[in-house]
Amino acid sequence: MKNMRKMTNVDLVVKGGVVITMDEQRNIYDPGFIAINKGKIVEVGMGNGPFFQSSREIDAKGSVVLPGLVNSHDHLDQSIYRGCSDERPGSRNRLLTMAKSLTYDRAKVAASLSLMELVRFGVTTTQENHWTHYHADSTDGICDAIANSGMRGIVSRGMSDAELYNPPDFIETIEDVLADLDRLEKKYESEYITITGEPTTVVRCKPDTIVAIRNWARERGKMWHIHLAQTSDELSDAMKQFGMGSVQWADHLGVLGPETLAIHCSGLLDEEVDILGDKKVRIGHCPVTQMRGGNRVPPIWELENKGAIVGIGTDGSGTNNGQNPWEAMKMAIYMQRVQSGDRNLGNAELALEMMTIKAARVLGIENKVGSLEDGKLADLAIFSMDQLQLLPGAMLVNNLVYSSTNNLAETVIVGGQIILDKGRSTKFDEMEIKLKIVEAQRELLQASEMADTLRISRTWPINSLP
């Protein structure tokens, strides 16, 4: 009997590629198709989608099609600080000095550069934490950059108010911050941007402040974010200040739960692993930043076994120097092997999960993004398999993760709209952003009186024409 299924009109069909769905069964279709209508996925399946017709088709033959990558932690403004806080003591103070010159325009162009990097690697959604508000509208610059990019952003507006660990210029009152959260939510909340709050760390924020921001988010049905046990130094500071670890202190305050996104979780006491698991805390793991800072290796598999959920993030270019999610995936697996001495611990599939569906769970948006499934938002990335590092392609997922540092997308789609086409942004004038970021950093270094100390090389002689 002939199949009598009727033809369906849709906005876009992507067909012919290897479709890695990241659905519950982790189905891969080779070849497969994705039918998209009104910004959502209508159907994913085997073959070329013979029952769908559209005026727009993308032939993905010779390519791999993935869910848009989900970056569980970042600081988009930090591209303007790239390279300026490496290897020398006092990097945080140096960053804060420069942040005094982070105006709306500089924050916007810096975030635009980071977003351009992310989308080239196939990222469609990123978490963003902005925590320096010397200029009150710098968060607006970042939100406007996200809006212009066509990508999705979970923006956590950070704050600090503990005098012991914060310069006076960056201390804010909780009343002012809650008012600003209300303002940002009213101005930017949309299908593409979510606004929430973040006390930067337990040692840099007063207890009542941490509770107030958690409550602000809870009243709106949102997650709240915090850098928690981010370094070994923070563990020492917490022990000195509270007589317990950072996680123990947060648990003492009664704020930990499934609505908590905890960033890093490196400086942990053994018993704090149980707390994070018992409370079902969601964790943004940034392996490159942890290695760069010489920090402890977070026990991500033990945390998951206890009940926590772990996603991977790039972190900002101030502490990672780049925005490469593939590098972060690879390092996430390898650093666990170094720590454990087990060369077979983890695998590429787990890494890809932590940057797609599991990262979406970490951000609380797994019902919308993170996998290619019927009814989800049409966010996806297409990579040519003709890239040298992906050949030969018998073990494609392994190659994607482990041979990965220059995986560049050909096409990126968000909500059914193409935001990267043939490797070029359709949303930004890339040349304009490149010129503006160079000038913005030059101005920032001059304004912060660091132009003479932060130059081409830290120690080598620099010979220049007058």
pLDDT at 4: 67
Residue 460 lies in a domain: no
CATH code, domain with 129:
3.20.20.140
Domain total of the chain:
2
Q: Are residues 324 and 380 in the same domain?
A: no
Domain with 39, as residue range(s), is: 8-68+371-425
Q: Are residues 380 and 265 in the same domain?
A: no
CATH code, domain with 408:
2.30.40.10
Amino acid residing at 17: G
CB burial of residue 55 (10 Å; 0-12, 13-18, 19+): exposed
Q: Are residues 56 and 203 in the same domain?
A: no
Q: Among 340, 362, 384, give the residue marking a domain's end.
A: 362
Residue 463 lies in a domain: no
Question: Which DSSP state fits 371?
Answer: S
Residue 233 lies in a domain: yes
Angstrom distance (rounded) from CA 121 to CA 245: 36
Is residue 308 within 8 Å of residue 283, measured between CB atoms? yes
Is residue 28 within 8 Å of residue 73, measured between CB atoms? no
Residue 430 lies in a domain: no
pLDDT at 105: 98
Owner of token pair 């087990």: 342
Q: Are residues 235 and 295 in the same domain?
A: yes
Q: Among 345, 362, 379, give the residue marking a domain's end.
A: 362
Token output for 264: 């890093």
Q: Are residues 41 and 104 in the same domain?
A: no
Instruction: Compute CA 222 distance to the chain's CA centroid, rounded to the nearest angstrom.
Output: 18
The pLDDT tens digits along the chain (466 residues) read: 455 688 999 999 999 999 999 999 999 999 999 999 999 999 999 998 889 999 899 999 999 999 999 999 999 999 999 998 887 667 788 889 999 999 999 999 999 999 999 999 999 999 999 999 999 999 999 999 999 999 999 999 999 999 888 889 999 999 999 999 999 999 999 999 999 999 999 999 999 999 999 999 999 999 999 999 999 899 999 999 999 999 999 999 999 999 999 999 999 999 999 999 999 999 999 999 999 988 999 999 999 999 999 999 999 999 999 999 999 999 999 999 999 999 999 999 999 999 999 999 999 999 999 999 999 999 999 999 999 999 999 999 999 999 977 899 999 999 999 999 999 999 999 999 999 999 999 999 999 988 888 888 888 999 988 7
Token output for 156: 């956590």
Amino acid residing at 464: S
Residue 437 lies in a domain: no
Residue 446 lies in a domain: no
Q: Are residues 414 and 329 in the same domain?
A: no
Tell which phi-psi region holds residue 90, choosing left (phi > 0), alpha (psi between -120 and 50) or beta: left
Is residue 144 within 8 Å of residue 110, measured between CB atoms? no
Q: Are residues 64 and 79 in the same domain?
A: no
pLDDT at 1: 45
Q: Are residues 85 and 54 in the same domain?
A: no
Q: In the chain, what are the helix, strand and coil shares in percent, each to the nearest 5?
A: 35, 20, 40
pLDDT at 86: 83
Q: Are residues 162 and 201 in the same domain?
A: yes
Q: Are residues 83 and 51 in the same domain?
A: no
Token output for 412: 């990126």
Residue 447 lies in a domain: no
pTM above 0.95, yes or no: yes
Mode of pairing for the β-strands spanning 380-384 and 411-414: antiparallel
Residue 431 lies in a domain: no
Q: Are residues 129 and 141 in the same domain?
A: yes
Span between the terminal Cα atoms of the chain, in Å: 83
Q: Are residues 147 and 78 in the same domain?
A: yes
